[in-house]
Amino acid sequence: MSTISAGMASFDTGRSERGPLLLWMIFTGLSIFAAVVLWRYGFISLMLASDRTYISSLIAVLYVITCCHCFWRTRAIEREGEAARRCIAILSAPDGAAALGADARALPAGLVTDHIRSLVTKSKIQTSGRLDQTLLLRALADRLRGSNAFGAFASDTLMKLGLLGTIIGFIIMLAPITGLDAADKVAMKSSMGLMSDGMAVALYTTLAGLVGSILIRIQYYMLDAATQRVFSDAVALTETRVTPVLERRHDG
């Protein structure tokens, strides 16, 4: 246990990046602070009151749902990263090769451990040659990514909702011009009010869609970067600590 703890400590000190969940919480905290400030000065309430199509409200709801999904995926990747670090600490110990026996049951649960167990099973079935893990690594990458692609879909959806609000706003703005009599001052005043409402819808929905799309892109960029780090750790671990041991056992 002491060797495992020493290996874990040396690995943790060698990693300079912060946990993905902490970065997500910092980013979300700053976003909430900005939203509170905007609400305090009445900008958000003005946007919601001026948007008669409720597209801005729909964008806000979808943004919150997407943030919850990103939190769930970030927490999952955080756990996978922790399990991968524990695997590295165990297999880097002087007696770490023994952990690959008994189908690697000594390793902590996780996708990286499942990948190592698949390598152990493949080494038992394979009779000769080098242990190739290319296909297994592709499967591991797909499993680690999971539903991360939902972020790109949500970001694109918010952007298109903003553009939809822009089109609807311009329609509302230009509709009163048809059949407008320039000599009728009352009609002109009413038309100017409708045109102002349409312009407000177009601008606020576009702004909401752009801001929501950018913020979601940033969150899922951090998530993808954390996922890539876990995958890189898994590749380095299996190439340096797992496949050489399994190939030596096979040759022996």
Residue 83 corresponds to which tokens in the numbers above? Answer: 């399990």
Inform me whether the pLDDT recorded for 15 exceeds 70. no
Inform me whether the pLDDT recorded for 4 exceeds 60. no
pLDDT at position 3: 43
How many alpha carbons fall within 13 Å on the CB side of residue 37?
Answer: 6
Residue 129 corresponds to which tokens in the numbers above? Answer: 């040659």
d(CA 82, CA 96): 18
Within the chain, residue ranges assigned H as helices are 2-14, 20-40, 43-50, 55-92, 111-125, 134-145, 150-174, 185-237, 243-251
Q: Torsion angle of alpha carbons 10, 237, 138, 114, nearest 10°?
A: -90
Give the pLDDT band (50/70/90) at residue 13: very low
User: pLDDT per residue over 49-79, tens digit each?
Assistant: 888 889 999 999 999 999 999 999 999 999 9
Determine the average pLDDT of the residues in 88-101. 81
Mean pLDDT of the chain: 84
Inform me whether the pLDDT recorded for 215 exceeds 50. yes
Inform me whether the pLDDT recorded for 185 exceeds 90. no
Residue 111 corresponds to which tokens in the numbers above? Answer: 């996708």
